């Protein structure tokens, strides 16, 4: 199986280049950087120790940021190469990476491109995030004998069943990792069944996330504009959820006067599609835009089509429904911890399979509210906005939950010390950490 996969991808370079060009024409790739995905690399490798951290998209990148910040604080002379595959995640990384870390696009899994990538960057260690396993790259890492760990590892039942059909490829791919740190016992069981030999459950790194940033000047501007209007937020929306938000607003505004509904789309480039969905004669619509225009007192739907401001709107709104949980694409869910950290009551639909364990735990501890249908969402928001005591309780339960597990990063770092210390003992990096203290932040 593995030689066949290698041969097919080896012969696929022209097709992969055409795919990149087509994605570029649709605005899904960076004009100046998309060829990084073919390992056409402009940056030089920095001198000294280089640790490579890879996460597929925004979710994995946010987990990686937690780890990168901790590593660079603990080992100040280290360099970190961060790779992701999506345009949105690249924009996020460029804004939030620390000074001694930098971003590159991950190359497509073509054997020559993989080899060129490894030869150029020559990483001293590899930290892979969550679940994206590319056979050619992982084989190259193993063949080059680069120390590697899989962090925040997760695996869906569907992926597990797929890997089970190709046991030799699964074993060869997973054996790349010297250590696999899993989110849950279920994930650990899947990896063990596929041949992993050194696994540990460390919980989900997202619990240790730094709270999303909130610009105080922007917050004050919005608060002055909104004054005492009741507000609810639909965060990180996908197709179908903007329509739900507008329909709910029509119903809620009949009982809750001056209501403001805020929509923060996951992908702001969908603004034309969203405008078409939300623009009707009976709703006043305002897009935030690059000028950060605040809503007027007559605007009913406020669409924050900007990047990097979700923390601002979680701070502004007392209650939020987390997107891609009632969407037309079957859902998957987005990170609810970010809302809980901002003292925001958390509501979500039932399609949160990508973060099922987090949502299940929050639901069981009354730190989040699961709704099955848009009607249930309407009933829940109505109840919270009309009952201040219930709203306050929902906010407090979410906040308390978010603070319980902030020490997950310390558990992960303890497991990484052998890799990092080996680099240190080889004289490549200096360490700046008190390993006797594992207290939660």
3-state DSSP assignment of residue 138: helix
Q: What pLDDT, in 10s, does the model give residues 98-149?
A: 999 999 999 999 989 999 999 999 999 999 998 888 989 999 999 999 999 9
Q: What pLDDT, in 10s, does the model give residues 337-353?
A: 999 999 999 999 999 99
Residue 66 has which token pair? 């937690």
Question: What pLDDT is attached to residue 268?
Answer: 93
Q: How far is CA 35 from CA 10, 85, 108, 172, 206, in A?
A: 17, 12, 10, 29, 31
* Rounded Cα–Cα distance for residues 150 and 181 (Å): 6
Among 2-6, 28-32, 323-327, the range scoring the smallest mean pLDDT is: 2-6
Region 1-12 average pLDDT: 56
Residue 157: band (very low, low, confident or very high) from pLDDT cuts 50, 70, 90: confident
Active site residues: 60
Ordered domains of the chain (ranges, CATH) = 2-204+407-425 (3.40.50.11720), 216-404 (3.40.50.2000)
Question: What pLDDT is attached to residue 126?
Answer: 96
| Contact predicate 113/134, CB 8 Å | no
pLDDT of 93 strictly over 60:
yes
Q: What pLDDT, in 10s, does the model give residues 165-203?
A: 999 999 999 999 999 999 989 999 999 999 999 999 999
44: phi > 0 → left, psi -120 to 50 → alpha, else beta; which? beta
Q: What are phi and psi of 149, to 5 degrees?
A: -135, 140
Share of residues in the chain with pLDDT > 70 (%)? 93
Among 112-121, 136-145, 314-323, 427-436, the range scoring the smallest mean pLDDT is: 427-436
All residues at 6 or more sequence positions from 358 whose CB lies less than 8 Å from its CB, including other chains: 204, 206, 335, 336, 337
Question: What pLDDT is attached to residue 8?
Answer: 55
Question: What pLDDT is attached to residue 433?
Answer: 39
The angle formed by the CA atoms of residues 123, 129 and 132, to the nearest 5 degrees, is: 100
Question: What pLDDT is attached to residue 66?
Answer: 92
Share of residues in the chain with pLDDT > 90 (%)? 75
Question: What pLDDT is attached to residue 3?
Answer: 54
- Provide the mean pLDDT of the chain: 91
Region 236-259 average pLDDT: 97
Among 205-209, 296-300, 431-435, the range scoring the smallest mean pLDDT is: 431-435
pLDDT of 426 strictly over 90:
no
As beta bridge partners, residue 322 has 235, 348
Region 369-377 average pLDDT: 98
Residue 210: band (very low, low, confident or very high) from pLDDT cuts 50, 70, 90: confident
Region 46-60 average pLDDT: 91
| Residue 10 vs residue 101, higher pLDDT | 101
């Amino acid at each position: 199986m593995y030689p066949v996969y290698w041969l097919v991808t080896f012969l696929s370079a022209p097709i992969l280049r055409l795919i990149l060009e087509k994605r570029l024409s649709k605005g899904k790739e960076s004009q100046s950087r998309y060829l990084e995905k073919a390992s056409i690399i402009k940056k030089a490798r920095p001198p000294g120790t280089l640790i490579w951290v890879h996460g597929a998209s925004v979710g994995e990148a946010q987990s990686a940021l937690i780890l990168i910040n901790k590593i660079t604080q603990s080992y100040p002379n280290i360099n970190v190469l961060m790779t992701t595959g999506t345009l949105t995640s690249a924009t996020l990384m460029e804004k939030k990476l620390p000074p001694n870390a930098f971003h590159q696009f991950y190359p497509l899994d073509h054997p020559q491109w993989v080899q060129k990538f490894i030869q150029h960057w020559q990483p001293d260690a590899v930290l892979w995030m969550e679940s994206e396993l590319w056979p050619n790259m992982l084989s190259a890492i193993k063949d080059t004998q680069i120390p590697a760990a899989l962090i925040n590892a997760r695996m869906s039942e569907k992926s597990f069943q797929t890997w089970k059909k190709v046991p030799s490829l699964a074993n060869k791919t997973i054996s790349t990792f010297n250590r696999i740190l899993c989110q849950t016992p279920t994930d650990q069981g899947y990896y063990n069944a596929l041949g992993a030999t050194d696994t540990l459950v460390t919980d989900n790194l997202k619990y240790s996330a730094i709270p999303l940033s909130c610009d105080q000047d922007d917050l004050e501007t919005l608060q002055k504009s909104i004054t005492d209007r009741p507000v609810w937020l639909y965060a990180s929306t996908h197709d179908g959820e903007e329509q739900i938000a507008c329909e709910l607003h029509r119903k809620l505004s009949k009982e809750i006067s001056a209501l403001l509904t805020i929509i923060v789309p996951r992908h702001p480039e969908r603004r034309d599609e969203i405008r078409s969905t939300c623009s009707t004669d009976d709703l006043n619509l305002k897009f935030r835009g690059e000028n950060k225009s605040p809503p007027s007192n007559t605007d009913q739907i406020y669409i924050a089509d900007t990047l990097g401001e979700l923390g601002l709107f979680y701070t502004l709104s007392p209650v939020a429904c987390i997107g891609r949980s009632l969407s037309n694409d079957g859902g998957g869910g987005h990170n609810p911890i970010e809302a809980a950290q901002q003292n925001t009551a958390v509501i979500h639909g039932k399609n949160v399979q990508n973060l099922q364990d987090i949502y299940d735990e929050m639901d069981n501890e009354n730190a989040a509210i699961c709704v099955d249908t848009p009607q249930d969402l309407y009933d829940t928001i109505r109840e919270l906005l009309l009952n201040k005591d219930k709203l306050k309780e929902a906010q407090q339960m979410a906040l308390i939950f978010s603070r319980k597990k902030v020490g997950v990063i310390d558990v992960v770092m303890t497991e990484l010390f052998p890799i990092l210390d080996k680099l240190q003992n080889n004289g490549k990096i200096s360490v700046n950490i008190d390993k006797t203290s594992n207290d939660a932040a």
